[in-house]
Structure 1
Amino acid sequence: MNLFSMPLGQMLALSEGEGGLFDFNATLPLMALQFILLTVILTFVFYKPIGNLLEEREAYINGNLSDASAKLLQADELCKQYEEQLKDAKADAQSCIADAETEAKQVVALELAQARKDAASLVEQVNKELEAQKELALKQLEAQIDELSQLIKEKLLGKQAIL
Structure 2
Amino acid sequence: MVKAPLVLGAGGLDFNGGDILFQIAAFLVLLWLLKIYALKPLLNVMKQREDHIASEITSAEKRNAEAKQMIEEQQELLKKARAESQSLIENAKKLGEQQKSEIIQAARNESERLKESAKQEIVKEREQAVSALREQVASLSVLVASKVIEKELDEQAQEQLIQDYLKEIGESR
Q: Out of 109-118 and 38-47, give the one that drifted further.
A: 109-118
**Alignment map for 1:99-110 (pairs within 5 Å):** 99-110=91-102
| Residues 1:50 and 2:42 are matched in the alignment | yes
| Residues 1:136 and 2:114 are matched in the alignment | no
User: Between the two proteins, what is the percent identity of the paired residues?
Assistant: 26
Which residue pairs with 2:119 in the alignment? Answer: 127
The alpha-carbon deviation at position 22 of structure 1 amounts to: 6.5
Choose the corresponding residue for 1:34, options 26, 36, 41. Answer: 26
The alpha-carbon deviation at position 110 of structure 1 amounts to: 2.1
Q: How many residues align?
A: 150
Name the SS for the 1:40 alignment partner.
helix
Change (3 A) 1:21 1:83: farther
Change (3 A) 1:44 1:53: same
Query: TM-score, structure 1 length as denominator?
Result: 0.80
User: Counterparts of 2:14 and 2:80 in 1: how far apart (Å)?
Assistant: 89
Show structure 2 runs of 5+ residues with no match: 154-173
Q: Out of 76-85 and 23-32, give the one that drifted further.
A: 23-32
Show structure 1 runs of 5+ residues with no match: 4-10
Query: TM-score, structure 2 length as denominator?
Result: 0.76
Choose the corresponding residue for 1:68, options 60, 70, 76. Answer: 60
Tell me the C-alpha RMSD between the 2 structures: 2.5
The 4+ residue runs of structure 1 with deviation greater than 2 A are: 18-23
Higher relative CO (Cα under 8 Å, sequence separation at least 6) belongs to 2
Change (3 A) 1:2 1:125: farther
